[in-house]
């Protein structure tokens, strides 16, 4: 029996991302109290965290973890598919971890080479800087040459776009395999421009995935818990930095975040004395 077997039939609508009543968290859950000791919510949206998952990682998993898992599921990712992750940050680093754990080789793409070492440590085997998509980079132990031409040869089957702003698709499309699926996870108000012929002729698909269903929250937790038990926490859990849940702790966390130095999720920890 799995966690999803315990969901009452009357809640099945809420478990589906296709539910006609579904709405984004910013538009449906307007309650305050993120820094409270306790909160009362609808039991249908309360999740038991499996024992193998440390509490410090539960919050990032319920946010970035669920979102990434939903996106990979929506793209019908299968072992062996090459997954590209644009943006090595709060969302993207979990995308690398999850895709590798699903048996997929991963290509990481970021604005510069600054986070290349992090991407390799997370499990990516290829790295591109968005400033130079003609030059692939590989881990130091990789026998492939860093000088080999890369533009058009990446063969990415599924591309997760997790950056704050969607990069130019003109530059990304040549990195895709035929009939690739690109998943938009970015929240932005600007219009999206798609180069028509380079997109249509190879048979590409463009889908969006920004929130997770109840079912995939449960599936994600089970997936992570199983991987923690079988492969160890380093290979699957989000990278986190801990800050005290206090005025000073919040200030330090936001300073790291705004400077782009957070690796990669900030977690506020309740001091023993409470708040």
Per-residue model confidence as pLDDT tens digits over 198-243: 999 999 999 998 888 889 999 999 999 999 988 765 689 999 999 9
Nearest to 204 by CA among 178, 170, 186, 175: 178
Q: At what angle do helices 66-74 and 92-101 cross, to 10 degrees?
A: 60
Q: Which of 10-14, 92-96, 128-132 has the lowest mean pLDDT?
A: 10-14
Domains, the chain = 55-235 (3.40.50.720), 240-269 (no CATH)
Residues in a beta bridge with 86: 109, 161
- pLDDT at position 143: 78
**C-beta atoms surrounding 54 within 10 Å:** 13
CA 94 to chain centre: 4
Q: How confident is the model at residue 86 (pLDDT cuts 50, 70, 90)?
A: very high
* Overall average pLDDT of the 81-88 stretch: 97
- pLDDT at position 147: 54
- Cis-peptide into 139, omega within 30 deg: no
* More confident site: 33 or 261: 261
Pairing of strands 176-184, 205-208: parallel
CA distance 253 to 48: 27
- pLDDT at position 38: 76
């Amino acid at each position: 029996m799995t966690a999803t077997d315990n969901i009452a039939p009357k809640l099945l609508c809420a478990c589906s991302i296709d539910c006609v009543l579904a709405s984004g968290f910013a538009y449906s859950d307007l309650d305050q109290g993120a820094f409270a000791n306790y909160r009362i919510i609808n039991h249908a949206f309360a999740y038991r965290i499996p024992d193998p998952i440390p509490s410090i990682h539960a919050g990032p998993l319920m946010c970035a973890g669920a979102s990434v898992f939903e996106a990979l599921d929506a793209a019908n990712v299968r072992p062996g598919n090459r997954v590209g992750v644009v943006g090595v940050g709060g969302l993207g680093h979990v995308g690398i971890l999850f895709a590798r754990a699903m048996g997929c080789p991963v290509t990481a793409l970021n604005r510069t080479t600054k986070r290349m070492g992090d991407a390799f440590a997370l499990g990516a085997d290829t790295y591109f800087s968005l400033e130079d998509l003609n030059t692939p980079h590989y881990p130091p132990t990789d026998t492939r040459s860093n000088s080999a031409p890369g533009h058009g040869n990446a063969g990415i089957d599924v591309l997760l776009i997790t950056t704050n702003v969607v990069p130019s698709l003109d530059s990304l499309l040549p990195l895709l395999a035929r009939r690739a699926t690109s998943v938009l996870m970015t929240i932005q108000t600007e219009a999206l421009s798609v180069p028509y012929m380079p997109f249509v002729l190879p048979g590409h698909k463009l889908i969006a995935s920004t929130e997770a269903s109840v079912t995939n929250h449960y599936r994600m937790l089970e997936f992570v818990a199983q991987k923690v038990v079988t492969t160890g926490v380093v290979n699957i859990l989000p990278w986190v930095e801990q800050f005290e849940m206090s005025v000073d702790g919040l200030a330090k966390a936001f300073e790291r975040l705004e400077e782009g130095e957070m690796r990669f999720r900030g977690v506020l920890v309740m001091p023993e004395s409470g708040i």
